[in-house]
Amino acid sequence: MGNFSMESRAGEGPQAGGPEAARKGCVRPVGGSAYGSLDDAGNPFLGTIAVPTPALSSEAASRLEKWELQSVARFLLPGERIRGCCLHRIPGKETVDVYFSPSQNSAHYGNLITCASVWNCPVCSARISERRRELLARAVAAWEEQGGTVVLASYTFSHRRSDALSDTLPGFLAAQVWMTGHRPYKRVLEAFGIIGAIKALEVTWGIHNGWHPHAHVLLFLPLGVDVAALEAALYLVWSAAAKCCGLTMSREHGLKVQATYGQVAEYVAKWGHQPARRPWGTPDEMTKGHSKRAHRAELADSGYSPFDLLRWLIDTGESQPAGLFRQYAAAFKRRRQLTWSPGLAARLGVATEAEKSDEELADEIREESWVLAQIRFEGWRAVRLLNQRGQLLEVARSGDAAQLGVFLRRLVAELDERDRLQLERMAAARLARGWGVAEEASGA
């Protein structure tokens, strides 16, 4: 286990950067984007820092993107908990711990304050959603082992670009509550033998139709159910509930029910390819809808997920996605991502996991993980100020504490150099101001 501090790095390790290194392509600038160069506190960088960066796979690039998106979301939401997420140690902890999981070939931090926002924070969202995806996969597998099957019902309603999300989302959720709380819906459940459901809330924004709140609902039912008949029955109760809450819809788009035998291929094609090692399946659809990445050519028709709005902002620097993301964050604050029918989790043997909060999942340490390194104040300051939290975890995925130590010492050396240069600039500015005062005095 590595234990890094200012004392341990003195005089050790080569420094990264320099013209020769840049020519060889082994360094890259930190924090550049069309939206501006921001550090992890959402502030502009004072200079360009070069750090060693290996060639990235598409999976690694996707993991690093989470940290860039988080920095932009933090800048947009200064009053939310994301402002300090994964930046500061938990009070009373002396180090930031780096955990390595051999079975998952992954690395993550410990002893850091997290925001646990599945809606606003790409970093916490990825962690929480992955845990929930695993839970859903277990639930579906458990029901299938009992001889049942699962279908996916998607609920929506008609909307216009001029509709405010702060108006349509509460109306949509009220219609969902109205439907599930009344007898006609319960009769549908009884008629088709549905033992329970899991609902996931999602939203996109489209250029033509504006905000599009919708829900994906996993229905657990026996084999052999007529899916078309189920869809027709659910549409009747859903359209009635929507009407009572002031919403309208068409038969074509208001409700769709489809069998889900492991994958939702059409939806994957709609939203774009995921840089994952396995196909996108029903558990992903349910838990990661707000982070799905759409093809740029399809965004005008398919809509932007909330994190696509952040990508739009980074790519163009336009003000519109910034305003849209703030609207979304305000509307979804304190909303639940997943809702389970009472008793369903217990019946499927996952009650303990289903009861875990977002905060518990965000801070959860996998049992097979072990501490690869402990980073003290000076080292973590370099990681944070040079915006290298994601890059450090990529190095840690090797499981090599020595390699991680070299990377950290390079960062500390780079930050020392930046601090030295800034002090020289400040001293030069003070000296210049002093000369100006002296010249004015002599002229008088």
Distance CA 205, CA 164 (A): 11
Which pLDDT value is given to residue 283?
55
Paired residues of 44 in beta bridges:
38
pTM: 0.79
For residue 324, the model assigns a pLDDT of 97
* pLDDT recorded at residue 20: 33
Where b means 16+ CB within 10 Å and e means fewer, 374-413 reads bbbebbbebbbbbbbbbbbbbbbbeeebeebbbbbbbbbb
Structure-block tokens of residue 210? 């504006």
- Helix (H) or strand (E) holding 382, with range, is helix 377-385
How far is it, in rounded angstroms, from Cα 94 to Cα 380?
11
Structure tokens at 303: 């809509």
pLDDT computed for residue 260 by the predictor: 60
The rounded distance, in Å, linking the Cα atoms of 102 and 59 is: 17
Which class for 29: exposed (0-12), middle (13-18), buried (19 or more C-beta within 10 A)?
middle
pLDDT tens per residue, the chain (444 residues)? 544 443 333 233 323 333 333 223 222 233 333 333 344 544 433 333 444 445 678 889 989 999 999 999 999 999 999 999 999 999 999 999 999 999 888 999 999 999 999 999 999 999 998 888 888 888 888 998 999 988 889 999 999 999 999 999 999 999 999 999 999 999 999 999 999 999 989 999 999 899 999 999 999 999 999 999 999 999 999 999 999 999 999 888 899 998 765 533 333 223 233 333 333 355 555 555 555 555 444 555 568 999 999 999 999 999 999 999 999 999 999 999 889 999 999 999 999 999 999 999 998 887 778 999 999 999 999 999 999 999 999 999 999 999 999 999 999 999 999 999 999 899 888 888 876 555 555 555
CA distance 208 to 162: 10
Helix extents (H) in 44-164: 58-76, 122-145
Q: Which H or E run includes 371?
A: strand 370-375
pLDDT at residue 309, as a whole number: 96
- pLDDT of 366: 75
Residue 218 has φ and ψ, to the nearest 5°, of -85, 125
- Name the DSSP class of 163: -
Q: Are strands 2-4 and 370-375 parallel, antiparallel or unpaired?
A: parallel
* Beta-strand pair 96-101/370-375: antiparallel
